[in-house]
Amino acid sequence: MLRFLPALFLLSTAAAADIDCKTLILDNNGYLGYQTVEVFPNPVQKTAIRLNRQTQPLRREVCGFTVTADQAGYSFKAKNIKALVQQLGTGSSWPFRVVGMQLVGGRLDYPDAARLDLSLPEGLMHTDVRFTGYFNSLYLPKDALMAVRVNGGPLKPLLYNGTFRSISFGPKINTLELFIQSSKPVLWEKMLLDVGNSRMSFIKKAAMPSK
């Protein structure tokens, strides 16, 4: 009987370490959170990682997603684009919070700056893709710019002359890039959606292309 105890112990330990995928949180502003499945008598283990603060390379495989991060930025990769949309968005639209960075009372604060919505209905198969946005606060300066580029083509203005515009693209998208230029710092300056590889990446520093 005693010879079976090590195997039983290993099974119990493995079960305690299983992730409860219903608790998985991936946020475009660099947050990864999840907790383990509750298995008595082991307590639930909670994990919270600020990906935007990583100074060393990080890689996590969690619930079918590959999460990576380093000093330059972070990315989320899924088995397919539909899984990525469902986890990060609402299924029919993809909301992005653009946040700033400022010191308040000696501590770094992340004020909401803008809300962007990327509509990807039916997994990019049937209707046009649309990008819209609006301000969440007065954080962004009047000269702030946002522009979108699809499949390496020309830039289209999303935020220009202090006004958000609505942009539309055809459904055949391989890559979509969003660039942000602001004299006040923001958490990330570029988003890259690689549809073929089901990956979304956020780069902290990136120059606005000239065209």
Give the model confidence (pLDDT) of 164-188 as tens digits: 999 998 878 899 999 999 999 999 9
Q: What is the pLDDT of residues 28-80, one digit of tens each?
A: 999 999 999 988 888 899 999 999 999 999 999 999 999 999 999 999 999 99
Asked if residue 129 has pLDDT above 90, the reply is no
Selected residue with higher pLDDT from 91 and 193: 193
Instruction: Name the nearest CA neighbour of 210 among 160, 147, 151.
Output: 147
Give the β-pairing of 163-164 and 145-150.
unpaired
DSSP 123: G
Q: Is the pLDDT of residue 2 over 60?
A: no
- Two structure tokens written together for 119: 């509509």
> What pLDDT, on the 0 to 100 scale, is given for residue 96?
86
Other Cβ atoms closer than 10 A to 174 = 12
Report the pLDDT value the prediction gives residue 125, as an integer from 0 to 100. 47
Q: How much of the chain exceeds pLDDT 90, in percent?
A: 64
E strand segments, 65-208: 65-69, 73-77, 93-99, 102-104, 107-109, 112-119, 129-135, 145-150, 156-160, 163-164, 167-169, 175-181, 190-194, 199-203
Q: What is the pLDDT of residues 9-22, one digit of tens each?
A: 344 444 446 999 99
DSSP code at position 78? -
Kindly state the average pLDDT of the residues 84-97: 80
pLDDT at 103 over 80: yes
